[in-house]
Amino acid sequence: MLQDIISKHKPFFPSSAHTELRAQLSRSKSVTVIAGNLTTNTRNETSGVSSRVYKNGVYGFSSAAACDDEAVKNVLKAACDNAAFMDAHVRKNKAMFNALPYGKYDDKIEISDVPQKNYIEFSKELDNYIHTKYPGLSSRIVAIREDSMEKLLCTSDGFDAHFTAPRSYVYVIMSASTDSGVTVELFAPVGGCGTFDMNFTDPALLYPTVDDIYEKLMRKREGVYADAGLKTVILGGDLSGMLAHEAVGHTVEADLVLGGSVAGHNLNKRVASELVSLTDFAHTAFGVSAPLPVYVDDEGTPAKDAVLIDKGILTGYMNSRETALHFGMEPTGNARAFSFSDEPLIRMRNTAVLPGKDKLEDIISSVDDGYYLINTNNGQADTTGEFMFGITMGYEIKNGKLGRAILDTTISGVAFEMLKTVDMVSDSMNWSSAGFCGKKQPMPVGMGGPELRCKVMIGGK
């Protein structure tokens, strides 16, 4: 657990600037078994202190790979010097942030350091199950990833905090050959917030997941190419979550709005059908903990939900303290840093389309000719809202019934146009949290949503 070596330096923060001082310990562990071969067996640990100083519209930042008094003094001085350098050269003369109330937060969680052998033995046992039960696979991979952050934060105003963010996942990836020799692949991550020993107690508990992946893979092995074009589709929860994050979420990050995103011209306008509402949840969603909860951000702002779309109307952005001042909005606690040597950026937390009232079976039976798209392995979007998602599992829908599986394909569209075609929203909710969002720095994020009936472009032949 991090020792508090920073709070005693708070009296020495510069008086005419906003200052953040952070100590952070990050760990990541990784084990990969490919076709029975242990190809990755790694542990990484980084720690250090950093400081960021805001003065007249510019920031100075510095970090050092040490957690002692000398390092703290050095980074504070360097951050002040860098802010002064920028201020002298740029002269933006912007106002100071609106003050936040003082407070303290401590999640009192101590992250356990799981021995490497636990990951290896778990992987081997799961791999052995797959190899024994499904010898006909052309390839199999079992991978375990665990990452965690522990942070101590002191700010000139706002909350001083100690908080942690551990998460762990097991990935199972299987490949099979079709009769014509083409390889098809399917994967699934299992896990979430918490250390490996909290989330995974017995490999046998994952056997049903393995069996499910295999069954879907066999259907995909007999799959057909999608018919390319503009189609009526049902996006599963993985896909609606990806849509919430990639195609909408990034465009309403206030720094990207300032960079020219499409959301800048659409605040308080209709961007989706009235069935669509979308929120970036801070720590609690639908009465339970969100997948990756955030209570205080790295600027000392207590985190609260950012309501982005309400019944189809774009209602807000996700803000840092600086952008909140610019847009005249409240900061939402979205400013987060990945490593001790990273400065806080506006990042999503748990971004989701809210569920509606329709039953999935009713949505399926309403489609005469279309696709039910369930799994994705990749998503990219533009600040214009144009998006592309890779589809790894889906089915044809013919006359209201699920048909053949489809081979890997891609869907695309423009978020604020496509969301206006949403005409049914399921009453279920599916979260995912295994990925990293990339935006200068990586960042763990949660995303989720219900099934959506809508129209998108689908690739194929």
Stretch that binds other proteins, among 100-108, 157-165, 253-261, 352-360 (CB under 8 A): 253-261
By the rule CB under 8 A, 269 interacts with other proteins: no
How many residues sit close enough to other proteins to count as binding (CB under 8 A)?
82
The binder of other proteins chosen from 19, 21, 23, 61 (CB under 8 A): 61
Measured from the CB atom, is 166 or 379 closer to other proteins? 379
Helix (H/G/I), strand (E/B), else coil: 347: coil
Task: State the minimum distance, in angstroms, from the CB of residue 57 to other proteins.
Answer: 8
By the rule CB under 8 A, 365 interacts with other proteins: no
Q: Interaction with other proteins in 80-99: which residues (CB under 8 A)? A: 82-83, 85-86, 89-90, 92
202 phi and psi angles, rounded to 5 deg: -155, 125
Task: State the minimum distance, in angstroms, from the CB of residue 211 to other proteins.
Answer: 21
By the rule CB under 8 A, 185 interacts with other proteins: yes
Measured from the CB atom, is 265 or 404 closer to other proteins? 265
Measured from the CB atom, is 220 or 349 closer to other proteins? 220
Q: Whole-angstrom Cα distance, residue 278 to residue 417?
A: 15
Q: Interaction with other proteins in 118-137: which residues (CB under 8 A)? A: 120-121, 124
Stretch that binds other proteins, among 145-153, 278-286, 308-316, 408-416 (CB under 8 A): 408-416
By the rule CB under 8 A, 281 interacts with other proteins: no
Contact 434, 169 (CB under 8 A): yes
Q: Interaction with other proteins in 31-50: which residues (CB under 8 A)? A: 34-48
Place of tokens 């009465």: 287
DSSP string, 198-209: HH-S-GGGGHHH
In angstroms, the Cα distances linking 42 to 29, 111, 120, 216, 441 are: 6, 18, 11, 31, 21
Task: State the minimum distance, in angstroms, from the CB of residue 116 to other proteins.
Answer: 4
Contact 272, 251 (CB under 8 A): no
Q: Whole-angstrom Cα distance, residue 272 to residue 421?
A: 8
By the rule CB under 8 A, 373 interacts with other proteins: no
Tokens describing residue 92: 């933006």
Angle at 390 between CA 389 and CA 395, to 5 degrees: 110
Tokens describing residue 66: 């040490």
Task: State the minimum distance, in angstroms, from the CB of residue 119 to other proteins.
Answer: 9
The binder of other proteins chosen from 101, 229, 287, 328 (CB under 8 A): 229
Task: State the minimum distance, in angstroms, from the CB of residue 71 to other proteins.
Answer: 9
The binder of other proteins chosen from 24, 63, 156, 301 (CB under 8 A): 63
Query: Other CB atoms closer than 10 Å to residue 274's CB: what's the count?
Result: 12
Tokens describing residue 302: 């207590």
Q: Whole-angstrom Cα distance, residue 423 to residue 61?
A: 48
Of the candidates 381, 384, 382, 374, the residue with the CA atom closest to the CA atom of residue 426: 374
DSSP string, 17-50: SEEEEEEEEEEEEEEEEETTEEEEEEEEEEEEEE
Q: Whole-angstrom Cα distance, residue 62 to residue 342?
A: 9
Binding mask 137-176 for other proteins (x = CB under 8 A): -xx-x---------------------------------x-
Contact 336, 294 (CB under 8 A): yes
Q: Interaction with other proteins in 416-455: which residues (CB under 8 A)? A: 440
The binder of other proteins chosen from 172, 239, 262, 353 (CB under 8 A): 262
Task: State the minimum distance, in angstroms, from the CB of residue 337 to other proteins.
Answer: 12
Contact 30, 45 (CB under 8 A): no
Q: Interaction with other proteins in 334-353: which residues (CB under 8 A)? A: 341, 343
Stretch that binds other proteins, among 7-15, 104-112, 258-266, 277-285 (CB under 8 A): 258-266
Task: State the minimum distance, in angstroms, from the CB of residue 380 to other proteins.
Answer: 5
Measured from the CB atom, is 181 or 287 closer to other proteins? 181
By the rule CB under 8 A, 319 interacts with other proteins: no
